[in-house]
Amino acid sequence: MTGPVLSLSGITKRFGALLANDAISLELQPGEILALLGENGAGKSTLVSILFGHYTADSGSITVFGQALPPGDPRAALAAGIGMVHQHFTLADNLRVLDNIMLGSEPLWQPFTRRAAARARLLAVSQRFGLEVDPDAVVGTLSVGERQRVEILKALYRGARILILDEPTAVLTPQESEALFHVLGQMVAQGLSIIFISHKLAEVLRVSDRVAVLRQGRLVAQARSADTSQAQLAQWMVGHAVGAPQRHPAQRTGEAVCVLRDVCTPAGRDRLDRVSLALHSGEIVAVAGISGNGQVALAEVLSGTRGIASGEVRLLGAPLPKSPAQLTALGVARIPEDRHAVGVVGDLPVWENAVSERLRSRLFSRFSWVRRRAALAYAQALIARFDVRGAGPLAPARSLSGGNMQKLILGRALMHPAGTGTPRLIVAHQPTWGLDIGAVAYVQAQLIAAREAGAAVLLLSGDLDEVLTLGDRVAVMHRGHLSEAVPAAQWTRESIGLAMAGARPHEDAHAA
């Protein structure tokens, strides 16, 4: 086949004042892996949503295999051979792999399902692309990597010849990512074309033939992967040169601020299994791991929103208090994983969100009456100090962008009213997730500053680079088990990857 399999021309999409896609023209060649690179908010998701028919473009057109694609129709996109693998899987956990793959692919008025034929076809597809999976396994029992394979198979089963992968490595260990890259290689060798969306420079260069960089809705650069470098890509992505992240020398650590001993949480989807950890003043302990391995449970236990089944948690020598308000009063600063669902109440104004943790203290209420003036003044000070832009104190918090919302949460946690001490313990769960590079640097700098001021910092992150850059000591979570926290220098990306998959390297060393 000659000519591009897919061509976008002049795609423009506007959301109110925001120009999400500005006249983007892009071509995908047969047998090519094209990486779509850009920061969060650069317009990658909007572009593929238009391609897949979830949005309609304001102007511009799409041609697939020489045919114009009708806008705004996911079924037409599917029929044209476009398959999409979302970052968040769309699988039914309680069904078998085969059922998940057949789901929605059979006409409703066909009286019997043709399982045997479907099974044969699934096995043929999986053999052809080297995607091995047991058709009879219940999806809920599969690992994340295996589920991703099912998602890809689902697209291939439906005859996809152009595959769009949205941040496919976000949930994988380095080793699983390698395996995925290998499969992708086999797929393009068979003539498929792939669009690979990511904001990770190294893996983009590793896997793609060509890179297209988006910034603020515009296509700013295209290059052959072989002809470019990480530094060049970063510059295109951000718009200016980016310094290498600074490695900070380990601090002298002080007393143990928080100690967990053999902590178990009640059985559930995300749990702790005999976790022991000591967090000292003046250090950052970073916890790596694939999400869903107990990080939520660990963060919630230390945030006062989940109880423990056995074991012991001590804060400053006393048992951990049960309520979030008491934790705040004792100097525990908490940054939750999900800004929108847990971090702020989007319908309420910025000022109420700014004081919400301390509303019950005498500073902001008396006899259960809110001291509005004091609270507003505090919110103003927070907005100024943490540079929260885009909305005043009276605007609803939902009108803030992700980065500014995170600054608000960071300010609420780290700023302390006169008369209260600096934070003693900071529990930060994915504090930089989804932020642009500038905001990431700001959040990381705040965590380092808090460490220097003597706080003990627990950083739970899915970003290995962040874990290795910020962590003085690093531990890895797997299935609720937390490895021993050892100095970051004793880890390599490979050993962390193995530990994320369940190996226990440092404990083996102890046993030997």
Partner 1 sequence: MRLEKRQQTSPLAWVLAPLGAVGFTLLVSALLVLWAGAPVGRTYLLLLQGGFGSVFALSETLTRAIPLILTGLAATVAFRARLFNIGAEGQLYAGALAAVAVGGAHGGTGWDLPPALLFGLMLAASALAGALLLLGPALMKARLGVDEVVTTLLLNFIVLLLVSMMLDGPMKDPTAMGWPQSVALLPELELSKLIAQTRVHSGLLAGMGLALGLWVLMRYTVLGFDIRALGANAGAAAFVGVPVTRTLVWVAVLSGGLAGLAGAIEVAGRTSYLTLDMSPGYGYSGIVIAMLAGLQPLGVLFAGVFVAGMLVGADSMSRAVGVPTYIADVIVAASLISVLVAGALAQYRVRWK
Sites of contact with partner 1 (CB under 8 A): 15-18, 55-56, 71-73, 303-305, 323-325, 328, 334, 336, 341-348, 352, 356-357, 359-360, 365, 368-370, 372
Least distance from C-beta 398 to partner 1, angstroms? 10
Distance from C-alpha of 439 to C-alpha of 410, rounded to nearest angstrom: 11
Least distance from C-beta 355 to partner 1, angstroms? 9
Residue whose CB is less far from partner 1, 174 or 346: 346
* Full strand arrangement of the beta sheet holding 18-28: 18-28, 6-15, 59-64, 67-68
Residues 354 and 408 sit within 8 Å (Cβ to Cβ):
yes
Cα–Cα distance list, 500 to 143, 155, 293, 431, 505 (Å) = 12, 28, 9, 20, 11
Least distance from C-beta 371 to partner 1, angstroms? 10
Residue whose CB is less far from partner 1, 154 or 412: 412
Q: Is 395 helix (H, G, I), strand (E, B) or coil?
A: coil
Least distance from C-beta 337 to partner 1, angstroms? 11
Distance from C-alpha of 113 to C-alpha of 483, rounded to nearest angstrom: 47
The two tokens of residue 201 are 């420079």
- The closest of 78, 37, 33 to 54, measured between CA atoms, is 78
Q: Is 500 helix (H, G, I), strand (E, B) or coil?
A: helix
Cα–Cα distance list, 271 to 293, 471, 484 (Å) = 7, 23, 17
Distance from C-alpha of 176 to C-alpha of 292, rounded to nearest angstrom: 16
Residue whose CB is less far from partner 1, 66 or 72: 72
Residue whose CB is less far from partner 1, 357 or 466: 357
Residue whose CB is less far from partner 1, 66 or 74: 74
Residue whose CB is less far from partner 1, 17 or 116: 17
Residue whose CB is less far from partner 1, 30 or 417: 417
The DSSP annotation for 216-240 comes to TTEEEEEEEGGG--HHHHHHHHHSS
Residue whose CB is less far from partner 1, 299 or 467: 299
Least distance from C-beta 47 to partner 1, angstroms? 16
Residue whose CB is less far from partner 1, 184 or 397: 397
DSSP percent split of the chain into helix, strand, coil, nearest 5? 35, 25, 40
Residue whose CB is less far from partner 1, 115 or 416: 416
In DSSP terms, 287 is beta-bridged to 460, 475
Residues 283 and 251 sit within 8 Å (Cβ to Cβ):
yes
Helices (H) then strands (E): counts for the chain: 17, 23
Least distance from C-beta 345 to partner 1, angstroms? 4
- The closest of 228, 175, 183 to 205, measured between CA atoms, is 228
The DSSP annotation for 73-142 comes to -HHHHHHTTEEEE-SS----TTSBHHHHHHTTSS-TT-SS--HHHHHHHHHHHHHHHT----TTSBGGGS
**Torsion angle of C-alpha atoms 127, 129, 135, 137, degrees rounded to 10:** 120
